[in-house]
A = this chain, B = another copy of it.
Amino acid sequence: MKAVMKPGTGLKEIGMVLAAAELEGLSAYVVRDGDSVAVCMPGACGAEFESRISRLPGVESAAAFARGFKIVSREFRSGNTVVNVSGVRIGDGGTVIIAGPCAVESREQLMRSAELMRECGAHMLRGGAYKPRSSPYSFQGLKEEGLRILSEARERFGMPIVTEVMSPSDVPIVAEHADMLQVGSRNMQNTALLEALGSAGRPVLLKRGMMSTVEELLLAAEYIASAGNRSIVLCERGIRTFEHVTRNTLDVAAVAVLKDLSHLPVIVDPSHATGRRKYVKAAALAGVAAGADGLLVEAHPSPEDALCDGEQSLSPPEFADLCASVQRVAEAVRPAGSRGVGGEL
């Protein structure tokens, strides 16, 4: 956290902030930048602490600098990061739509999907070759065969590919075929995997664990960044709560919180967040209205035949309708001419 002091603040006020840091068990140091004075507390975090600091006499503003994450924090980089995935720019003010089926089921299914998604307006194609499943007896994906099908679709339809990687030892082969590597919700704190992605040479799509706080998501991103890879896109995909009418609960405010605490792009997965086709559109529009840089949407040529997650997959007409509505909401929330303000890291 960085507490910026008001001009002319005396030693007593600065001392109070230093004492606050010590009380938290944190190191703190005073930074002078021209006329302004600030107190930096590298490990400080939490809404409550931030609000307490900001109410101290002499403090002009206190900005979070959450415990342990540095490279991915706003203090590290005040402008927005733009992640370039083989030409598709995520985080530059536009709304990138990544769509496709839950799993790559066959060559035919994926080609048909890719064609339909592109027609409807998707910018990137998603599809699982390695599938994390709760049960060892469920369909685990086509694995390498799936990767080859994804590669072929990229060539044929000119859309970058994102697909999940589940083990450090699979990072090289997935990186060879895909444009972007996805870390799934269940593996968000698989630190061996996060570290391996540091040298993957590909952008990473990091999904929030269904049971993870915003801070833990940023710390997971910090693992990747500190291992050498700063091309990271964060994804809010719903958290687990007591409410079960939807599969998860979309934490839409987390989009704003993440954009506030970090310079990384943030996208929303309305499909896993709701788990029910008829609520996907509302969740998608909510995410865009809250400031998301893009969407990750499950769509399938014929959802009723899908091998997994058919209940939450959109049909092509539903997906086309979603894309059109997203466009209108994105224009409503983004000031004209705002695209392109960020820079690539």
A residues adjacent to B (C-beta < 8 A): 16, 19-20, 22-25, 46-48, 51-53, 55-56, 67-70, 132-138, 166-170, 186-187, 189-193, 209-216, 219, 222-223, 226-227, 239-247, 249-257, 260, 273-276, 278-279, 281-283, 285-291, 311, 325, 328-329, 331-333
Say yes or no: A132-B245 contact (C-beta < 8 A), given A16-B19, A279-B260.
no
Can you name 5 A-B residue pairings with CB atoms under 8 Å? A46-B244, A68-B135, A136-B219, A166-B192, A213-B245
A136: B residues at CB distance < 8 A: 68, 191, 219, 222-223, 226-227
Contact A240 B211 (CB under 8 A): yes
A174 to B: closest C-beta gap in Å? 13
CA distance A22 to B56 in the complex (A): 9
Count of identical protomers in the assembly: 4
Contact A169 B169 (CB under 8 A): yes
CA distance A252 to B193 in the complex (A): 32
Contact A135 B242 (CB under 8 A): no
Say yes or no: A246-B242 contact (C-beta < 8 A), given A209-B211, A289-B286.
no
CA distance A253 to B287 in the complex (A): 10
A189 contacts which of B134, B169, B251, B254 (Cβ < 8 Å)? B134
Contact B166 A191 (CB under 8 A): yes
A213 contacts which of B132, B243, B332 (Cβ < 8 Å)? B243
A170 to B: closest C-beta gap in Å? 8
A169 to B: closest C-beta gap in Å? 7
Contact A167 B192 (CB under 8 A): yes
- Please give me the 3 A-B residue pairs with the lowest Cβ-Cβ distance, nearest first: A211-B211, A68-B135, A256-B282
Contact B244 A239 (CB under 8 A): no
CA distance A168 to B332 in the complex (A): 44
Say yes or no: A274-B253 contact (C-beta < 8 A), given A135-B219, A136-B226.
yes
A257 contacts which of B170, B279, B286 (Cβ < 8 Å)? B279
